[in-house]
Amino acid sequence: MSDQHIRALIEQCGLGTIEGTVLPVSGGLMHKMYKVCTTSGTYAVKCLNPEIMSRPDAMNNYSEAEKLERILEDNGLPVVTAMSFNGKKMLSEGGGYYYIFHWQEGRITGFNGITKEQCFTAGTLLGRIHRIDVHEAEAEEPELSEVDFTSLLESARKRESTIVQVLEENITLLEDAQKRLNEARKNLPAISVLSDDDMDPKNIMWHDGNAYIIDLECLGYSNPVSSCLNLALQWSGTVTGEFSKDNMEAFFMGYLQAYDNGFRSYDRIFGIAYTWIEWLEYNIRRALGMVSSDAEEMKLGETETLNTVGRIGYLSSMEEDICSVLRSLPNCSR
């Protein structure tokens, strides 16, 4: 996204004249964000990933997420939502798609600096979202992961990619993780709730002790058990290989106080932890130029492939420690 596009976007929205330099904001792995100061205020401009936006269901998914944002607002959740212009939130300029936000003061806690209090708050927020709209789902075959790691490895070899070695050394681990993931999905209870499955530490900002949920584009309906376990794992340090028993307990305490559906067999569906398999597939394809020929995108794919394989290996090595916490969750509150 060029400065020219940003200037045209700001002018289109009547947000004044840009002052100073348009600054890129770090943190996102999919989209690009910029801080823009104008004569009318300070804004965050999100440039949506072109590859994501080219998918057939992208527009419908974003439209649905925008509707669900309002439900969270109406229920008093501290969410940072995109601005509307002539009744529209998603904006188009120069062939790209964008959201504009009022600038939210605060900071995102690094994955290495998360406190028990923050985990409790995050768990509480997730529970508050999950309790808004709960209903039993029809029993049906779950969507299973079907990543062909052998084929992707062969493609990496043909392209002489830097990710060949990590795939060769870990292909058995990855195939086993995928099997565990699919088995766990088959054993999830048939419940559906409104959820923000992307509410990991990089998507909550903290200001004066208060939490603000950002990046709401993944709002939708999903299984609360899967969502809770995945986010508890991320908030408790498994992303960086520094699992904290105390942080996981704090996340669940906050969650269960806000919403308790009675489920306690989280240790039996540990395979849900390997949802990273699907993020890994995307980044392998990204690294191999199957998503975009952009060199920066391919480099990001290589980095995330290495990081994600590492996370999957760490989860496998820590399974018993994690499950010991899951087995000790308190009895139902109702």
Same domain as 228, residue 193: yes
Given a cut of 70, is residue 77 above it in pLDDT?
yes
Given a cut of 80, is residue 10 above it in pLDDT?
yes
State the average pLDDT over residues 272-285. Answer: 97
At 75 the pLDDT is: 97
Same domain as 158, residue 91: no
Name the residue among 29, 146, 134, 30 with its Cα closest to residue 75: 134
At 162 the pLDDT is: 96
Same domain as 315, residue 180: yes
pTM: predicted TM-score of the whole model, two decimal places: 0.89
Given a cut of 70, is residue 333 above it in pLDDT?
no
Do the Cβ atoms of 123 and 132 come closer than 8 Å?
A: no
Q: What is the pLDDT of residues 143-188, one digit of tens each?
A: 899 999 999 999 999 999 999 999 999 999 999 999 999 999 999 9
Same domain as 165, residue 35: no
Same domain as 203, residue 173: yes
Q: What is the pLDDT of residues 253-273, one digit of tens each?
A: 999 999 999 999 999 999 999
Q: Is residue 305 a part of any domain in this protein?
A: yes
Q: Strands 220-222 and 191-195, how do they pair?
A: antiparallel
Q: What is the pLDDT of residues 181-224, one digit of tens each?
A: 999 999 999 999 999 999 999 999 999 999 999 999 889 999 99
Q: Is residue 64 a part of any domain in this protein?
A: no
The residues near 165 (Cβ < 8 Å, ≥ 6 apart) are none
Final residue in a domain of this structure, among 68, 103, 138? 103
Q: What is the residue-averaged pLDDT of the chain? A: 93
Same domain as 95, residue 122: no
At 2 the pLDDT is: 61
At 28 the pLDDT is: 61
Q: Is residue 110 a part of any domain in this protein?
A: no
Same domain as 178, residue 98: no
Rounded Cα distance between 222 and 133, Å, is: 11
Same domain as 142, residue 46: no
Q: Is residue 68 a part of any domain in this protein?
A: no
Same domain as 89, residue 152: no
Same domain as 132, residue 43: no
Same domain as 302, residue 170: yes
Q: Is residue 334 a part of any domain in this protein?
A: no
Q: Is residue 63 a part of any domain in this protein?
A: no
Same domain as 149, residue 203: yes
Sign of CA dihedral 113, 114, 116, 117: positive
Phi and psi at residue 236, to the nearest 5°: -95, 10
Q: Is residue 43 a part of any domain in this protein?
A: yes
Host domain of residue 18: 3-56+80-103
Rounded Cα distance between 80 and 49, Å, is: 20
State the CATH number of the domain containing residue 35. 3.30.200.70
Q: Is residue 136 a part of any domain in this protein?
A: yes
Provide the domain count of the chain.
Answer: 2
At 111 the pLDDT is: 77
Q: Which residue has the higher pLDDT, 109 or 250?
A: 250
State the CATH number of the domain containing residue 161. 3.90.1200
